[in-house]
Amino acid sequence: MLKGIPDIISPELLKILHEMGHGDELVLGDSNYPAASTARRLVRADGHRMTAVLDAILELFPLDTYVERPVAVMQRVPGDKTPSDVHDEVRAIVRRRDERGDGAVEEVERFAFYARAKEAYAVVATTEKKAYGCVIVKKGVVR
């Protein structure tokens, strides 16, 4: 056991977060995200919402300050009426964890998101049920 590590962060995920360097990206996928087929390294976070995992990660993980928007959410497909209120939850978490607030978050078109995710250091597969509950975060420098 360690002090100060959120319980939702598994030993495997902690290892991945520690290994990542400045500029590396981490994908947090929802329950429909093709995590196994896109991941270089796959970490399971079954039983957890993406937003809970994101909040715990950002407690330990600095966002990149050398890019304008170190957080990317998957944009809703044009014409899709499915709510994407999970994006509001992501923005609220980022506002608590990063001084840039909403300005640190960008929306990325679905297939561009998939292409970027394939280059990520790792993918965390969550059981987030809300549509468009996928996010990419870029690691910054610990100061």
Classify burial at 111, counting beta carbons within 10 Å of its beta carbon; exposed 0-12, middle 13-18, buried 19 or more: exposed
- CA-based angle 125:5:137, to the nearest 5? 45
Q: Which two tokens stand for residue 35?
A: 């995590």
- Per the CB < 8 A criterion, the answer to whether 41 and 122 are in contact is yes
- Per residue of the chain (143 residues), what is the pLDDT tens digit? 789 999 999 999 999 999 999 999 999 999 999 999 999 999 999 999 999 999 999 999 999 999 999 999 999 999 999 888 999 999 999 999 999 998 999 999 999 999 999 999 999 999 999 999 999 999 999 88
Residue numbers annotated as active site:
22
**Position of tokens 């809300």?**
130
3 state DSSP class of 111? helix
Q: Which two tokens stand for residue 24?
A: 């590396």
Going from N- to C-terminal start, the domains of the chain cover 23-137
- CA-based angle 3:15:70, to the nearest 5? 95
What is the architecture of the domain spanning 23-137?
A: 3-Layer(aba) Sandwich (3.40)
The structure's pTM equals 0.96
